[in-house]
Amino acid sequence: MKVLALAGGVGGAKLAAGLAQTLPPADLIVVVNTGDDFQHFGLRISPDLDTVCYTLAGLANPDTGWGRAGESWTVMEAVSLLGGPSWFQLGDRDLGTHLERTRRLQEGQPLSQITRHFCQAWGVLPTVLPMSDDPVATMVHTAQGVLPFQEYFVHLRCEPQVTGFHFEGLHQARPAPGVLEAIQQADLVVICPSNPWVSIAPIVELPGIKPALQGLPVVAISPIIAGQAVKGPAAKMYRELGIQPSAAAVAAHYGSQIDGGLLSGFVIDTQDAAQAQLIASAGLAVLVTETLMLDAAGRRRLAGKVLEFVNKLPASGVVIS
Amino acid sequence: MKVLALAGGVGGAKLAAGLAQTLPPADLIVVVNTGDDFQHFGLRISPDLDTVCYTLAGLANPDTGWGRAGESWTVMEAVSLLGGPSWFQLGDRDLGTHLERTRRLQEGQPLSQITRHFCQAWGVLPTVLPMSDDPVATMVHTAQGVLPFQEYFVHLRCEPQVTGFHFEGLHQARPAPGVLEAIQQADLVVICPSNPWVSIAPIVELPGIKPALQGLPVVAISPIIAGQAVKGPAAKMYRELGIQPSAAAVAAHYGSQIDGGLLSGFVIDTQDAAQAQLIASAGLAVLVTETLMLDAAGRRRLAGKVLEFVNKLPASGVVIS
CATH number of B139's domain: 3.40.50.10680
Residue A276 scores a pLDDT above 90: yes
Is the minimum CB–CB distance between A75 and chain B shorter than 8 Å? yes
Cβ within 8 Å of B, A 94-153:
94-97, 99-100, 102-103, 106, 117-118, 121
Rounded CA-CA distance A131/A52 in Å is 13
What number is the average pLDDT over the span B4-12? 95
CA distance B196 to chain A (A): 32
Confidence band (pLDDT; 50, 70, 90) for B318?
Answer: confident
Residue B78 at interface with chain A, using a CB cutoff of 8 Å = yes
Q: Write the CB contacts of A11 (distance below 8 Å, at least 6 apart in sequence).
A: A192, A193, A194, A223, A230, A231, A232, A293
Q: Is residue B139 part of a domain?
A: yes
pLDDT of A142 higher than 80:
yes
pLDDT beyond 90 at A312: no
pLDDT recorded at residue B158? 96
Q: Do B42 and A40 touch (CB under 8 A)?
A: no
Which pLDDT does position A321 carry in this prediction? 83
On whether residue A290 sits in a domain, the answer given is yes
Confidence of residue A288 (pLDDT cuts 50, 70, 90): very high
Q: Across the interface, do A41 and B44 touch by the CB < 8 Å criterion?
A: no
Residue A130 · residue A115 · CB < 8 Å: yes
Residue range B291-304: mean pLDDT, rounded: 96
Search chain B and give the residue with CA nearest A103. Answer: B41
> With bands split at pLDDT 50, 70 and 90, how would you rate the model's confidence at A313?
confident
Instruction: Give domain status of residue B118, yes or no.
Output: yes
Integer CA distances (angstroms), B33 to A96, B54, B192, B228, B233, in order:
28, 15, 11, 22, 16
pLDDT exceeds cutoff 90 at A65: no
* B57 domain-assigned: no
Whether residue A61 contacts residue A71, with contact meaning beta carbons closer than 8 Å, is answered with yes
Predicted local distance difference test score (pLDDT) of residue A190: 98
At A4 the pLDDT is: 98
CB contact (8 A) between residue A84 and residue B76: no
A148 has a pLDDT exceeding 90: yes
* Residue A255 CA, distance from chain mean position: 18
Residue B314's pLDDT is 75
Overall domain count for chain A = 1
Residue type, B193: P
Confidence grade of residue B306 (pLDDT, cut at 50, 70, 90): very high
* Residues A238-249: tens digit of each pLDDT: 999 999 999 999
Is there a domain that residue B47 lies in?
Answer: no
In tens, the pLDDT along B46-103 reads 999 999 999 999 999 988 888 999 999 999 999 999 999 999 999 999 999 999 999 9
- Quick check: B316 pLDDT over 80? no
**Which ipTM score applies to this complex?**
0.93
CA A184 → CA A126, A188, A258, distances in Å? 17, 10, 20
Alpha helices in chain B (DSSP H): 10-22, 47-57, 74-81, 92-107, 111-122, 149-150, 179-185, 201-204, 209-213, 234-240, 247-254, 276-280, 296-311
pLDDT band at B106 (very low <50, low <70, confident <90, very high): very high
Q: Do B43 and A40 touch (CB under 8 A)?
A: no
| CA dist list (Å): B285 to A237, B11, B131, B316 | 77, 22, 27, 4
Q: What is the C-alpha separation between B136 and A3, in angstroms, rounded? A: 53
Greater confidence (B316 vs A13) lies with A13
Q: Nearest CA to CA, how far is B229 from chain A (Å)?
A: 33
Residue in chain B nearest A80 by alpha carbon = B96
Chain A neighbors of B88, CB-CB under 8 A: none
Of A82, A83, A97, the CB nearest to B78: A97
User: Is the confidence at residue B187, as pLDDT, over 90?
Assistant: yes
* pLDDT for res B43: 98
Q: Do A99 and B72 touch (CB under 8 A)?
A: no
- The pLDDT-based confidence of A54 (bands split at 50, 70, 90) is very high
Up-side HSE of residue A104: CA atoms within 13 Å toward CB? 23
Q: Is residue A87 one of the residues assigned to a domain?
A: no
- Within a domain: A286: yes
pLDDT of B315 above 80: no
Question: A174 is in which domain, residue-wise?
Answer: 3-59+112-320
Amino acid, res. B55: T
d(CA B131, CA B109): 16
The mean pLDDT value for A285-310 works out to 96
B163 touches chain A (CB under 8 A): no
Check pLDDT > 90 for residue B222: yes
Strands (E), A91-161: 127-130, 137-142, 145-148
Q: Does a structural domain hold residue A69?
A: no
A82 touching chain B per CB within 8 A: yes
Q: Above 80 in pLDDT, residue A315?
A: no
Residues of chain B with Cβ-Cβ distance to A42 below 8 Å are 42-44, 99, 102-103, 106
pLDDT in the model for residue A151:
95
Per CB-CB distance under 8 Å, the chain B contacts of A99 are 41-43, 75, 79, 84
Select the residue of A74, A99, A121 nearest B83 (Cβ to Cβ): A121
pLDDT value of residue A219: 98
Query: Does residue B135 register a pLDDT over 80?
Result: yes
Per-residue pLDDT averaged across A13-17, rounded? Answer: 98
Instruction: Say yes or no for a CB contact (<8 Å) between B81 and A96.
Output: yes
**Residue partners of A244: CB distance under 8 A and separation at least 6:** A227, A238
Residues in chain B closer than 8 A to A82 (CB atoms)? 96-97, 100, 117-118, 121
Q: How confident is the model at residue A316, as a pLDDT? A: 76
